[in-house]
Amino acid sequence: MTRKNRAVAAVFWAAALWILANRLHTYEQPVQVDIGAYAAVGHGLLHGQRFYTDLWDFKPPLIYGVYAAVEKLVGYGQQQVFVLGLIAALLTLVGVYWAAVWLQGSSASGLWAAGFWALRCNDLRLEANAPNCEVFLNALAVWGVAMYARQRTSRDSNRFLIGAASGFGIP
């Protein structure tokens, strides 16, 4: 590993640890109504209840499936909310880094972008630490931009993935 790659990895890990530390700080924060509904509906799905009959909410089913899948991995409750928020923040961190690298052609710009994301993604006033629908949409939108930037500078083009990420990420 080159010196430059080690420096990039060190800064990237520092940003990830910053996000983790801030998320741990708010681990016991009460969940918002929407997040509680996502978790409850996902939990019901795992126990044989049906969408829009036994369980109701007015959002598309994918968010409930995500909550149900993470419940299978870590259990139902606060740990589920924590893991989902952390996954969304880290996926977005990586996407922001690569979008900036591929748009600007420099790892320094990627590190700056990732650093700013790490500082802002835990803002309590914006409820940015909560795994609401928007954090997953943000991650998809960022990855759509990153893939678009990548295909501009490369012969590799996967327009389907770009469209899918952008389409899901931009309501």
Structure tokens at 98: 């690569």
Q: State what percent of residues in the chain have pLDDT above 90.
A: 47
Q: Given a cut of 60, is residue 171 above it in pLDDT?
A: no
Least confident of 87-96, 100-109, 159-168: 159-168
- The pTM for the full model equals 0.85
Q: List all residues 6 or more positions away from 2 whose beta carbon is below 8 Å from its beta carbon.
A: none
Q: What is the pLDDT averaged over residues 140-164?
A: 73
Cα–Cα distance measured from residue 34 to residue 109, given in angstroms and rounded to the nearest whole number: 35
Cα–Cα distance measured from residue 44 to residue 46, given in angstroms and rounded to the nearest whole number: 5
Contact 98, 91 (CB under 8 A): no
pLDDT band at 35 (very low <50, low <70, confident <90, very high): very high
Helices (H), 47-132: 62-74, 78-104, 107-120
